[in-house]
Chains A and B, each alone.
Chain A
Amino acid sequence: AQTVTQSQPEMSVQEAETVTLSCTYDTSENNYYLFWYKQPPSRQMILVIRQEAYKQQNATENRFSVNFQKAAKSFSLKISDSQLGDTAMYFCAFETGANSKLTFGKGITLSVRP
């Protein structure tokens, strides 16, 4: 079975600074996909960034980038130039198998301070 661990329940960052959110996972699969989803307060969950496990190059989407360490089974999210709108819960998620269901971590609450 796959597990996703987000050990930091909460983090806080000053606006315009950089923050890194940690995620580790466990799997025996060789082919899988990793995602970071954002859930703003009282709003729908949306995709932030995704990474294919067979790609060594770390994914980047504007201010968001990942540090994917396959051997260590680590998948951290870096948010640069933090904005107030980044305040949300962030979930790390893992996908494998034909049904593409997602296995989520417990999430981390990120607060961006003005």
Chain B
Amino acid sequence: DTGVSQDPRHKITKRGQNVTFRCDPISEHNRLYWYRQTLGQGPEFLTYFQNEAQLEKSRLLSDRFSAERPKGSFSTLEIQRTEQGDSAMYLCASTRGSSYNEQFFGPGTRLTVL
């Protein structure tokens, strides 16, 4: 068990560019979550997968955001036409299905949009 990993750890991009982040959850975890954390705030829920199915998306997730988990293992989060307001830490977490289980977080991808 190597924990949740995210790649890249840091991304600097210019406004208008597209970026893609990857999350590799703990292998036996069927649930995967994306959160966004801005400076001085707690993480905010973006979207959730159970296996390969995306079951919930936050209203924070505008049309420029898309997430996939094609084989129920790793997940990608893409942001198209980035804006300065997208600058944040993007966190991925995974857990076994059912409530009350600990969510295991990755180190995050810090996005800076210039």
Contact = CB atoms under 8 A, between A and B. Distances in A.
Contact of B56 (A44, A91, A101, A107): A101
A41 to B, nearest CB: 12
B44 to A, nearest CB: 7
Interface of B: 3-4, 31, 33, 35, 40-45, 48, 55-56, 91, 93, 95, 98-103, 105-108
Nearest to B42: A104
A27 B108 CA distance: 29
Contact of A50 (B41, B44, B100, B107): B100
Interface string A77-114: 00000000000000101011011111111110000000
Contact of A102 (B4, B43, B56): B43
A59 to B, nearest CB: 11
Range of interface residues on A (Cβ < 8 Å): 20 to 34
A31 B44 CA distance: 21
Contacts of B93: 102
B101 A100 contact: yes
B99 A106 contact: no
Contacts of B31: 100
28 contacts: A6-B42, A33-B99, A37-B105, A43-B107, A44-B4, A44-B105, A44-B106, A44-B107, A45-B91, A45-B105, A46-B105, A47-B102, A50-B102, A91-B42, A93-B42, A96-B99, A98-B99, A99-B55, A100-B31, A100-B99, A100-B101, A101-B48, A101-B56, A102-B33, A102-B35, A102-B43, A102-B103, A107-B42
